[in-house]
Amino acid sequence: ACEKSRQLMVTWAMCLYCLWTAKFQRNRIIFVQSKKELDAANLVFNTEPRAARISFMETRLPEMLKNEVAWSYGKGVFDTGSWIWGIPEGGDQIRSYTVSLLFSDEFAFQPEGEAAWAAANASVKRGGKIVIVSSANASAYMKQLIDRV
């Protein structure tokens, strides 16, 4: 869990980590979660590869470093068998999956953040990772998580 200030490119760095995981590790399920589906899609893939952050990074690589990726709204399925899926907030989005990596952006502003955390914890116990980042919001569940860590 990481509190961030704006303009530090923490979200960009985490998107790069999600992309690296999908490119170089086989059969991974990676969720990128944000408050709204549109916000999550803008991190993974929206309607044009150069518009969302992860698809932008992949398409800007030299040809020899690119993977075959099937892009659809909010999703990227890689030739490694891994996929990245942009999802809206809430535990119900995660519950039926065993996630390899969950990146939750602006977690402190997700009213259903606590439910998402509880649902994702089952994956962590099986070797998955959860990374949550957000601009400061002292009254949010994220503050409780940071205080525990």
* Size of the chain, expressed as the number of residues it contains: 149
pLDDT at position 73 is 97
Give me the phi and psi of 129, to 5 degrees please. -125, 145
pLDDT at position 123 is 76
User: For residue range 70-128, what is the model confidence (pLDDT) as tens digits?
Assistant: 999 999 999 999 999 999 998 888 888 889 999 999 888 888 888 888 888 877 787 88
Averaged pLDDT for residues 14-40: 96
- 108 vs 84: CA distance, rounded Å: 22
- 81 vs 22: CA distance, rounded Å: 8
pLDDT at position 121 is 84
pTM (two decimals) = 0.90
pLDDT at position 105 is 92
